[in-house]
């Protein structure tokens, strides 16, 4: 394909409830969308997962927009042939900026797949190293923010259990860990899947406190230490029974290989934005699957645009744990797509259906893209 234009849209989408993590409290999602048009009249959409500020990672919306405008966008617009397969080569001259690259990759891939009437899930299935079954429905978990008190937390968790979620993840930090985990384990009973995510809030002085989490039979503990400190996660993995899972640290397939070889992690959270795209995500899936290491699909408060692509990724056979691929109404009263994600019922209770239409398989509500805009669209042309 040849690209004719890349348009960046910046929107503010209100959250149904505040979402608090060890790094901050969000009440609204600032969303950066990428819309590409091809020379032959096709189009595609991608969602950038960066936050408003550099709090979860060093990337943030202004930085992503800047690098897309001045470096990544011009490189794609100047190329004679842009495909989801060669995009990482075209953008390889820029160091890092994975969330920006991933959003461009997603938009290009959506356009390419719409043009060939291929779904995201079928494309990702063909991109896998070893063939395997693709799920039509994926198991969903939900990420529960830090609450003002235990009663509020238990009420929120009860609502998600009633909705059918198959796994609960609690956000933890020093001072909000053993007590909320004990209370939620008591509420859920011993069979329910429960895990925790610290978003780097702990240090090596907390090893013994973290070991006390072993009493609650957790699926995993996600990213207790700072992202660069693989060695600290090796120490914790040797110190506790609960499986350690890396999120922020895993920025590429190469880092995933190293972290697994060193025994820092025994499960991996795959987020396409964090690793630079869907191609890299499939590589991580493949290397984990070859070693029998479970992976699951993380979430970044995506609208239906990013969510659709993530649900397709979660359909690959190595995604054996429920993801943070929650229903649209976990975060938003109204979604940006005509087909909001709704949890299934009956045998599909707690699951989302994998889209099968061309590209991401959902239709963007351009009325809402205009209505929720907080800046004029930025249009880049060749
Ligand atoms: C995680 N997600 O697994 C992230 C953290 C997270 C669903 O827990 C704006 C930008 C808001 C990035 C909130 C979940 C965010 C964000 C949470 C990332 O660690
Ligand atoms: Mg996480």
Is residue 358 in a domain?
A: no
* Rounded average pLDDT over 306-314: 98
- The verdict on 339 and 370 lying in the same domain is no
Ligand nearest to the CA of 300: 1
Ligand 1 centre to CA of 300 (Å) is 5
Catalytic residue status for 271:
yes
* Rounded average pLDDT over 204-226: 98
Q: What is the pLDDT of residue 105?
A: 98
Confidence label for 299 from pLDDT (cuts 50, 70 and 90): very high
Confidence label for 334 from pLDDT (cuts 50, 70 and 90): very high
- The verdict on 111 and 134 lying in the same domain is no
Ligand 1 pocket, CB under 6 A: 19, 21, 26, 51, 56, 143, 197, 199, 247, 298-301, 324
Ligand nearest to the CA of 49: 1
Q: What is the pLDDT of residue 225?
A: 98
Identify the residue whose C-alpha is closest to ligand 1 atom 19: 199
Instruction: State percent of the chain over pLDDT 70.
Output: 100
- Which among 269, 301, 327, 330 is the best mutation to test ligand 1's pocket, defined by most ligand atoms within 8 Å of the CB? 301
- The verdict on 224 and 333 lying in the same domain is yes
The dihedrals phi and psi of 136, each to the nearest 5 degrees, come to -90, -25
Q: How many structural domains is the chain composed of?
A: 2
CATH number for position 164: 3.20.20.120
Is residue 315 in a domain?
A: yes
Q: For residue 170, give the H/E element and its range.
A: strand 167-171
- The verdict on 72 and 135 lying in the same domain is no
Confidence label for 48 from pLDDT (cuts 50, 70 and 90): very high
Ligand 2 centre to CA of 288 (Å) is 18
CATH number for position 68: 3.30.390.10
- Which among 17, 21, 302, 310 is the best mutation to test ligand 1's pocket, defined by most ligand atoms within 8 Å of the CB? 21
Q: What is the pLDDT of residue 336?
A: 97
Q: Which atom of ligand 1 is nearest to the CA of 324?
A: 7
- Inter-residue contact 33 to 369 (CB < 8 Å): yes
Separation CA 53–CA 160 (nearest Å): 28
If DSSP states are collapsed to H, E and C, what string results for 323-380? ECCCCHHHCCCCCCECCCCCCECHHHECEEECCCCCECCCCECHHHHHHCECCCCEEE
- The verdict on 213 and 149 lying in the same domain is yes
Range of the domain at 146: 123-353
DSSP string for 122-157: HHHHHHSSS-----SEEEBEEEEPPPSSHHHHHHHH
Q: Which atom of ligand 1 is nearest to the CA of 199?
A: 19
- The verdict on 130 and 214 lying in the same domain is yes
Catalytic residue among 101, 169, 173, 271: 271
pLDDT digits (tens, 9 = 90+) for 89-105: 999 999 999 999 999 99
Q: What is the pLDDT of residue 270?
A: 98
Is residue 345 in a domain?
A: yes
Q: Which atom of ligand 1 is nearest to the CA of 171?
A: 8
Residue from 331, 249, 315 nearest 282 by CA: 315
Ligand 2 centre to CA of 246 (Å) is 8
Identify the residue whose C-alpha is closest to ligand 1 atom 11: 51
- The verdict on 134 and 53 lying in the same domain is no
* Rounded average pLDDT over 224-231: 98
Ligand 1 centre to CA of 20 (Å) is 9
Q: What is the pLDDT of residue 362?
A: 98
Separation CA 286–CA 111 (nearest Å): 25
Ligand 2 centre to CA of 328 (Å) is 19
Q: Which atom of ligand 1 is nearest to the CA of 24?
A: 13
**Whole-number average pLDDT of the chain:** 98
Ligand 1 centre to CA of 57 (Å) is 10
Is residue 359 in a domain?
A: no
Share in percent of the chain as helix, strand, coil (round to 5): 40, 25, 40
* Rounded average pLDDT over 158-173: 98
């Amino acid at each position: 394909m040849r690209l004719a234009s890349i348009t960046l849209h910046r929107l503010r989408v209100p959250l149904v409830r505040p979402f608090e993590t060890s790094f901050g409290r969000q009440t609204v999602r600032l969303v950066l969308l990428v819309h590409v048009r091809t020379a032959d009249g096709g189009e595609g959409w991608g969602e950038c997962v960066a936050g408003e500020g550099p709090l979860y990672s060093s990337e943030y919306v202004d930085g992503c927009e800047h690098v897309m405008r001045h470096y990544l966008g011009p490189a794609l617009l100047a190329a004679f042939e842009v495909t989801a397969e060669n995009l990482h080569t075209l953008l390889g001259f820029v160091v890092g900026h994975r969330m920006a690259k991933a959003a461009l990759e997603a938009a290009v891939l959506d356009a390419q797949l719409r043009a060939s009437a291929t779904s995201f899930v079928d494309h990702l299935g063909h991109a896998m190293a070893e063939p395997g079954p693709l799920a039509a429905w994926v198991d969903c978990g939900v990420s529960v923010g830090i609450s003002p008190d235990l009663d509020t937390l238990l009420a929120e968790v009860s609502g998600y259990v009633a909705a059918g979620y198959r796994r609960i993840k609690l956000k933890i930090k020093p001072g909000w860990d053993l007590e909320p985990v004990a209370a939620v384990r008591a509420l859920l009973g011993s069979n329910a899947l429960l895990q925790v995510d610290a978003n780097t809030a702990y240090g090596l002085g907390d090893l013994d406190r973290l070991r006390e989490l072993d009493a609650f039979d957790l699926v995993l503990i996600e990213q207790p230490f700072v992202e660069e400190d693989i060695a600290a996660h090796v120490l914790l993995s040797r110190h506790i029974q609960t499986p350690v899972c890396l999120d922020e640290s895993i920025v590429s397939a190469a880092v995933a290989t190293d972290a697994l070889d060193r025994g820092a992690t025994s499960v991996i959270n795959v987020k396409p934005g964090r690793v630079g795209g869907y191609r890299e995500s499939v590589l991580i899936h493949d290397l984990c699957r070859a070693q029998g290491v479970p992976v699951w699909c993380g979430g970044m408060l995506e609208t239906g645009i990013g969510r659709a692509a993530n649900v397709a990724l979660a359909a690959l056979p190595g995604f054996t744990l429920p993801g943070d691929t929650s229903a649209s109404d976990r975060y938003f009263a109204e979604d940006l797509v005509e087909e909001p994600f709704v949890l299934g019922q009956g045998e599909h209770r707690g699951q989302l259906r994998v889209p099968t239409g061309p590209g991401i398989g959902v239709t963007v509500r351009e009325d809402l893209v205009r209505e929720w805009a907080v800046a004029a669209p930025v249009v880049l042309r060749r």
